[in-house]
Structure 1
């Protein structure tokens, strides 16, 4: 009689949070002080994050350096080193005119293992664009290091779309991330419609990826943020699910619906669109796994 072959079950897809922050607890702040005027009003230490991730069955996350610690990455670095199978890091780009940020970026990537860098345009010197000499050099360096560049367009994509298009055109091998749907809310007027169309049109650049993150920031509705349904439909249609990734924006989400519900909201919104299981795997983790090369093995 032939031996019966029992096939192994398909491994569960990893759930990866593509956007969150951590900062020191009051006790930890003795060794990892906050920047002047940037003391947080919410707890955001790593032990709390790990507890929330366990509750929500989230396997790993990309930690984005918070402005609370500005360019002092020591706290996030300590968390990355303590939990290498849970976290990878996204550093904060320093656009200082002396070029120190370019050297710091290289060190954080090569020495400390950071896998992305965030460009915050509001940290650039007054009156200067992200595409100034330092900005282009830092963006180019990110491409050489093989890491994505994330953009925070908090005051409106219209203020930064020209810079982003220049970066994409001049450096097509550098991956671009747009945090929090580029802060594009479901449009209700002509200016917002144009902003959203500009976002969709960035799909012509294959290196552009969208973070479906911090839904409480971009929705006009209370939880579960149902007005994002149409937004997600158009984003997936134009970019593809393999260019979209979920993110919570912990710990800010704690003051909104809570961490687990932030994850559940995306699943609920996607269910209304009847996305395939494959598309959901990309959005909930596979895209991030592909981009950030994390050791998300436990």
Structure 2
């Protein structure tokens, strides 16, 4: 008997745990998630169990926590079999500290050019070389044409690359926009994977974000199901429209009607890349 869509095994490759009651927000952060944008570990575990999400890549959020990874590390310590992590670190973080994070279940560090700009990462060659030596990822969030500036840095240092949210192309910009073409070119490195997620961040339409699908299909063609992950982006920080996990999962069914294809996107490919 075939599994229901919601029981098919999944790995959610981009989600956040925000628990200011246990781990207060840093005093100097630019954005403090509140209300339904907060999501504790206990709440997310319920979501996982309801939707067949067996494992997840927890991303340390710039919102709320900045460089404070305590909430992330607490979740990794409590459930080392279910979670891996992406930490937010200083650009001059030494190799020894990265090694300690790796031993705690962190598989990479986040570059968020959408928040900090591309110039912020101009001095990160040593950090990227450390990540390459440790077989860790640089997880990159860019928008519009920012990847054009970052691409040489990413290509020359050898670290594995994980691109957030389809590279967040400019809405209505088409497939030929330079930033998206730079992303497609990274497929040829053989060490870059991309998350099919965050459509609300580059769509001009409400859910199901029909205008995002041309980018999703181009990424599937370039990267194939061997280097594409699925992600929810739970608990949906700064979302302009109401989002829920169930409709996001149904979208994958429409994109990939074959259960074997969904298994590659949802489970087999991310588990292999992330070392589960």
Identify whether the pair has TM-score above 0.5, normalized to the shorter chain: yes
The 1:127–1:159 alpha-carbon spacing in structure 2 relative to 1, beyond 3 Å, is closer
Deviations 1:118-149 (A, max 9, x none): 1123676x8845242xx111111111111111
Residue 266 of structure 1: CA displacement? Answer: 2.4
Equivalent pairs, count: 267
The whole-number CA distance in structure 2 between the counterparts of 1:127 and 1:80 is: 29
Any conservation in 2 of the 1:65–1:73 contact (CA below 8 Å)? yes
Q: Which of 223, 244, 260 is the aligned partner of 1:258? A: 244
Q: Secondary structure at the match of 2:256?
A: helix
CA contact (8 A) 1:22 1:44 kept: yes
1:63 pairs with 2:47: no
Equivalent position of 1:209 in the other structure: 193
Shift of the 241–100 alpha-carbon distance from structure 1 to 2, 3 Å rule, reads closer
- Give the 3-state SS of the residue equivalent to 1:55 in structure 2: helix
User: Could you say which residue in structure 1 is the equivalent of 2:141?
Assistant: 152
Deviation at 1:282, TM superposition (A): 1.9
State the distance in 2 between where 1:209 and 1:127 align.
20
The equivalent position to 1:28 in structure 2, one of 22, 26, 49, is: 22
Aligned to 1:108: 101
Measure the CA separation in 2 of the matches of 1:185 and 1:243: 22
TM-score for the superposition, normalised by structure 1: 0.79
Structure 2: which 5+ residue stretches go unaligned? none
User: Residue 39 of structure 1 aligns with which residue?
Assistant: 32
Q: Is this contact kept in 2: 1:115–1:147, CA < 8 A?
A: yes
Which residue does the alignment assign to 2:255?
A: 269
Greater CA drift, 250-259 or 207-216: 250-259
Q: Given the superposition, is the C-alpha separation of residues 244 and 70 from structure 1 closer, same or farther in structure 2, using an over 3 Å criterion?
A: same
- Larger relative contact order (Cα-Cα within 8 Å, sequence gap ≥ 6): 1
RMSD of aligned alpha carbons: 2.8
Partner of 2:167: 182
Q: Provide the residue aligned with 2:85 in structure 1.
A: 89
Q: 1:35 to 1:106 in 2, by over 3 A?
A: farther
State the distance in 1 between where 2:226 and 2:162 align.
13
CA distance in structure 1 between the partners assigned to 2:182 and 2:227 by the alignment: 17
Runs of 5+ unmatched residues, structure 1: 1-8
Corresponding residue SS for 2:106: coil
Do the aligned partners of residues 257 and 56 (structure 1) sit closer, same or farther apart at CA in structure 2, a change above 3 Å counting?
A: same
| TM-score scaled by length of structure 2 | 0.85
Larger radius of gyration: 1
